Structure 1
Amino acid sequence: MNYYELKFKLEDEQDYRQDLLINELAGIGFDTFEEIEKGFSAFISESAYNAELLESVLQSYREMFVFSYEQIFIPQKNWNEVWESNFEPLEIKGQVYIRATFHEPKNTFPYEIVIDPKMAFGTGHHQTTTLMMEWLLETDLSNKKVLDMGCGTAILGILASKLGAAEIDAIDYDDVCYLSARENAELNKIQNLVAYCGSKEVIPNKLYDIILANINRNILLDQISRYSEVLTKGGLLFLSGFYEEDINVLVDECKMSNLEYVHHKKLNEWVAVKLVKL
């Protein structure tokens, strides 16, 4: 299958609005995104590419922030080989070893996660995923009910299961991520993870002890009140996908839903925040 790659360069590479643009691009058929210096690359199949639709999306964002892009045509190639060349094993705090199916296992780590990323987010290499995994390693998950929002490959839900969680519900609006979550759970022999395709509207009406939401600032602001509704008193909420300067606005929104800030971690410009339900 032929693809187009659009390389976006931003005047301010820390502008959170790039996440909004990425979400918009995903909505019109772009199925893979990669971080590059001062921006990101977005990929779309030739059959799904619509130049007029793309321009209509980009026009509104040109009024919000400064960016440029370069369009590159990519002839058909073996995308599995592309993933293999780009996906290196990852180690988290000497405790978690994340690898793909084509990497050799390492039995020296307490927890090993095998991920077949395909076109889904969440190989652990992004700073926000690393931060969320660090929080999980510091949290007692024994017999806990966990909700993993914006689950991507379900890497966080899989780790939660390996750390002793009793039940994990993993939700992503992208059907590629939904299918990837199911496949990766099976690949890691995780039997207590249920994947759902959708957004906050498909969150089951039950209580969770821990909620993980690694998405972006604006989506989090829209969904925080729903998280609070399904989080048990004393339960923990972990948020990531944003920058340090975004913490205050998110914490203020959380306060209105009886969620109290505890602490946050930072890696480069990204952060992950821990909150508790009062």
Structure 2
Amino acid sequence: MFSGSIVALITPFNLDGEVDYVSLKKLVDYHVEAGTDGIVAVGTTGESATLTVEEHVKVVVKTVEFADGRIPVIAGTGANATHESVTFSRLLNNSGIAGCLSVTPYYNKPTQEGLFQHYKAIAEESDVPQILYNVPGRTAVDLFPETVARLSEIESIVALKDATGDLSRIAKHRELCGEDFILLSGDDSTGLDFVKAGGQGVISVTNNIAAKDMADMMKLALEGNFDEAAVINERLMTLHKNLFVESSPIPVKWAAHKMGLIAHGGLRLPLTELSDSARPVVAKSMTEACIY
């Protein structure tokens, strides 16, 4: 159901800080033309933490509208309050989304039982497949494989986005969750190795500005052509890393603006634009990756 190269889409803003829907449509068309396999709208890379509930829902709905059936859209529905994630799920029922992606609750550091109950509550309020998202480096909580296994028994929970960078977890997840459970990387630097070890794809930040390369690489990898895929990955590796030279999505929004994919590279506080010292680092990575 979910596989290949899926973009963790940025949310473009106008100079006044409002969502730029003209640029959003341009981004959707860019990914359709590049062969991207899916779009995550208003995930964490889409600055979900700083959008209002109304904006969050509207961006998802407009992304579905712009996609017009050409590419599946997954809605980011994560929050650190279960009731907020449940609200997103309810509001997006019957919206045309292909699924929901929910990050583990950040800051409040729930127990494993709390994580289980959190995701169970979300799944009970949604009419679409659910993707778990584990990124302990940003949330300060780790979703253990044993908890993923418990959650995988809930019919609508079908996948995990694993951004730990720990490739040893793939075999553990596969053993505990079975062959049908979908495993997606959330770490571009190890994404190809993740698929080589048995994953089905990557939800990618790099994809925002190197969409065709990421789509080609994942297609080759899923066909078993890992040597050819590795050639592309090696060219992108510095970019994978330097898009995190400052907190994401700061670097990737600057890069997308530089490429003309969005009209402005602005973010919402507390995030600020890419520093002068980091700009040459990202620009050099873009040149080395042959995308600019």
Query: Structures share a fold, TM > 0.5?
Result: no
Structure with the greater alpha carbon radius of gyration? 1
TM-score between the two structures when normalised by the length of structure 2: 0.30
More contact order relative to length (CA 8 Å, sep ≥ 6): 2
**Structure with the higher strand share, 1 or 2:** 1
TM-score of the pair, normalised by structure 1: 0.31
